[in-house]
Chain A
């Protein structure tokens, strides 16, 4: 899977930077109230929650161009000193490299399982959220295009959402999501094919 490949790549790259101190940490994201889309908002919240749980100090910066500032085009991204890391899982990995882990009490097998579940959940949920944002016509028209274009003056406010829409749709198409109906997508638990209590159990065991 490409994510783990990138995570490995990142691990190597980070190896020389781990000794940096945790100073000037800032989490960059879009304007949460006016601009952020469903999945971006969720990722921003989870990154914030994670950093809070780790007890790491950080500033929240909201920028209209956060998506373009990000090295991978994903939000949120974390800036620590001169290091910039985008997306939720790489952020978790970066924090782990600094020696802070929330999963210390788990065995290797459990960590592996947890990781697999997080990946699966993220992929499925995020794609579902992207589908609803960009391929579900009423949502696209009323919510997504307006919010995405809200930070730009006309005519960019209508050009850029269309361009982004095309890009996201191509991506979803390549994952095979394009032919699904909104009912299939919103019934995501079937696509996850996982009993819901596993997550609850994993959470409970940690505490």
Chain B
């Protein structure tokens, strides 16, 4: 029987018999081994409310995409069929592919500062059959530092629900050569993500981190003063509106994101951070893309607390103010950059796709920004008033290479136009790799 049937693409059926009254008899899943029954019921119950065939077709597609999104299945193909008993009754069959048992990986990487590391990863999607994701990684740095992170996420299942909770344990090591210190960060965090009004993304996150700052041999005394252990406990709230076609190198769409972080509930670090990121890109004639980005960061220490070096705002380098040293703008003690309590940067870019067009871009830019040193009694408006003082400016041209959706590679010839004598200026060719660019 089965082999005599002819299947059509959904859009053909939808056009031909859009308003046919429809009743869904049953839903069948093929390929399920470990996924739990109740999880599937939550996901597809809404299908039975479909009144017309058109609705059923659309809903089946939505259900299939959502099943993939929450991580229950790797691939889902819905097939609608006529039920034999009743002419207006239909059945739906989902052909599914469950995520692999375990995914193991290993890689060797070199970071922007030349630090090499080797890491291995182990991932598992839909761990207990309800979409729970487990991701873990262990990294061994060339300097003998150990890093790891383990994350567990769980989606809220249900018709068109885009929400999840996550919990993470991690240990990270970072080197800050611009300030002559190394930092080790060990912590736990928990986050809740959801969407409202369709496209507005929310995140609330609690983060408890034990941080150790170790000054290097040549560090300025002002850096030494921050040495040792601190405990940060912070609550972060992120609201974002994101329509970018590719977060890595946007050619269309916009992003507006507000990040607020309050530290000081617990622990010995106290500050409030407000960060605003705005990005927009649009196509121009001749295949050109005009893109612009603004990033404003303001960190205010709580009363009676000093603003720790690890919590400050830094600026400079190939990812934002090209033509300057990495995080090497603003106040300096000896040759260690001290960061500030506020920073802003604004850039205008012109991209022109080369060959291959989705990967390689010619790039011209003008960027401007500055860092405002730490003043413990300064209010937001004091800082805002002085934001215009000596804006660092640079212009340049270069090429940008998009490596998938993960990273971007840039080689630029940059000319710093306005700078302060304390800034580390890098005129000429500058190379940068990163995940987030202004």
Residues of A within 8 A of B225 (CB): 63, 65, 69
Give complex CA distance A71, B267 in Å. Answer: 26
> Is A156 interfacial (CB 8 A cutoff)?
yes
Considering the chains assembled together, what is the distance between the CA atoms of A79 and B217 in angstroms?
Answer: 15
**A33 nearest CB across to chain B (Å):** 19
Q: Which residues in window 54-88 of A have CB below 8 A to B?
A: 63-65, 67-69, 71, 79, 82, 84
Contact, CB under 8 Å: B210 / A84: no
Asked whether any CB of chain B lies closer than 8 Å to the CB of A203, the reply is no
Q: Shortest Cβ distance from A102 into chain B, in angstroms?
A: 28
**Contact A84-B224, Cβ < 8 Å, known A153-B266, A153-B267, A153-B268:** yes
CA–CA, A90 and B51, complex, Å: 87
Check: A188 CB closer than 8 A to any chain B CB. no
Given A71-B217, A82-B334, A156:B229 Cβ within 8 A:
yes
Smallest CB-CB separation from B226: which chain A residue?
A65
Say whether B127 faces chain A, with CB atoms less than 8 Å apart.
no
Query: Is A49 engaged at the interface, CB distance under 8 Å to the other chain?
Result: no
Interface residues of A in 123-174 (CB under 8 A from B): 152-153, 156, 159-160
- Asked if A69 and B229 sit within 8 Å, CB to CB, the answer is no
Does B190 count as interface, using CB distance less than 8 angstroms?
Answer: no
Residue of B nearest to A157 (CB): B231
Please, how many angstroms separate the alpha-carbon atoms of A146 and B231 in the complex? 18
Interchain CB contact under 8 A, B268 and A79: no
> Out of A67, A71, A79, A159, which one reaches B228, CB within 8 Å?
A67
The contact size tier of chain B is: 10 to 19
0/1 per residue, A25-38, Cβ < 8 Å to B?
00000000000000
> Residue-by-residue, is B248-287 near A (CB-CB < 8 Å gives 1, otherwise 0)?
0000000000000000001110000000000000000000
Contact A69 B224 (CB under 8 A): yes
The verdict on A84 contacting B221 (CB below 8 Å), with A152-B268, A153-B268, A156-B210 known, is yes
A79 touches B227 (CB 8 A): no
Please give the distance in Å from A173's CB to the nearest CB on chain B: 22
Known: A82-B334, A152-B268, A153-B267. A68 touches B217 (CB 8 A): no
B210 — which chain A residues lie within 8 A by C-beta? 156, 159
Whole-angstrom CA separation of A84 from B219 in the bound complex: 11
Q: Is there contact, CB below 8 Å, between B221 and A68? A: no
Q: What chain B residues lie within 8 Å of A63 (beta carbons)?
A: 225
Cα A160 to Cα B186 with chains together (Å)? 13
Closest to B268 in A: A153
- Please name all residues of chain B whose beta carbon is closer than 8 Å to the beta carbon of A159 when the two chains form the complex: 210
A79 touches B231 (CB 8 A): no
- How far is the CB of A167 from the nearest CB of chain B, in Å? 14
What separation, in Å, do the CA atoms of A82 and B226 have in the docked complex? Answer: 17
- Give the complex CA separation of A67 and B221 in angstroms: 14
Q: Nearest residue in B to A65 (C-beta to C-beta)?
A: B228
- What distance in Å separates the Cβ of B270 from its nearest Cβ neighbour in chain A? 11
Contacting pair B231 A68 (CB below 8 A): no
> Interface size (A, Cβ < 8 Å)?
15
Cα distance A65–B212 in the bound complex, in angstroms: 11
* Residue among A64, A65, A153 making CB contact with B231, cutoff 8 Å: A153
Contact with A along B201-235 (1 / 0, CB 8 A): 00000000010011101000100111111010000
Q: Chain B residues near A84 (CB, 8 Å)?
A: 221, 224
Shortest Cβ distance from residue B399 to the other chain A in the assembled complex, whole angstroms: 43
Pair A79/B229 contact, Cβ less than 8 Å: no
* Interface core residue of B215, B227, B268 (most chain A CB under 10 Å): B227
List which A3-61 residues lie within 8 A (CB) of chain B: none
Collect the chain B residues with CB atoms within 8 Å of residue A156's CB: 210, 229, 231
A64 CB contacts on chain B under 8 angstroms? 228
A72 to chain B, nearest CB (A): 11
| B224/A152 in contact, CB under 8 A | no
Closest to A26 in B: B221
Establish whether residues B266 and A79, one from each chain, have CB atoms under 8 Å apart when the complex forms: no
List the A side residues contacting B224 at CB < 8 Å. 69, 84
Give Cα A146 to B215, complex, Å.
Answer: 26
Residues of B within 8 A of A67 (CB): 228
The smallest beta-carbon distance between B140 and chain A, in angstroms, is 21
Q: Nearest Cβ in chain B — how far from A69, in angstroms?
A: 5
Q: How far is the CA of A2 from the CA of B215 in the complex (A)?
A: 23
* Cβ contacts under 8 Å, B226 to chain A: 65
Question: Chain A residues near B227 (CB, 8 Å)?
Answer: 65, 68-69
| Contacting residue for B229 out of A71, A82, A152, CB 8 A | A152
Q: In whole angstroms, what is the CA distance A156 to B209 when docked?
A: 10
CB contacts (< 8 Å) of B214 on chain A: these are 68
Note all chain B residues with C-beta closer than 8 A to A153.
231, 266-268
How many angstroms from the CA of A64 to the CA of B225 in the assembled complex?
10
Chain A residues near B334 (CB-CB < 8 A) = 82
Give bound CA distance, A111 to B197, whole Å. Answer: 82
* B179 to A: closest C-beta gap in Å: 15
Say yes or no: A152 contacts B217, CB within 8 Å. Answer: no
In chain B, what residue has the closest Cβ to A71?
Answer: B217
Inter-subunit contact B221/A160 (CB<8 Å): no
25 A-B pairs with CB atoms under 8 Å apart are A63-B225, A64-B228, A65-B225, A65-B226, A65-B229, A67-B228, A68-B227, A68-B228, A69-B215, A69-B224, A69-B227, A69-B228, A79-B221, A82-B221, A82-B334, A84-B221, A153-B231, A153-B266, A153-B267, A153-B268, A156-B210, A156-B229, A156-B231, A159-B210, A160-B229
Residue numbers of B with Cβ under 8 A of A are 210, 213-215, 217, 221, 224-229, 231, 266-268, 334
Apart from A65-B227, A69-B215, A84-B224, what 5 extra A-B contacts exist at CB < 8 Å?
A: A65-B226, A67-B228, A69-B225, A153-B266, A160-B229
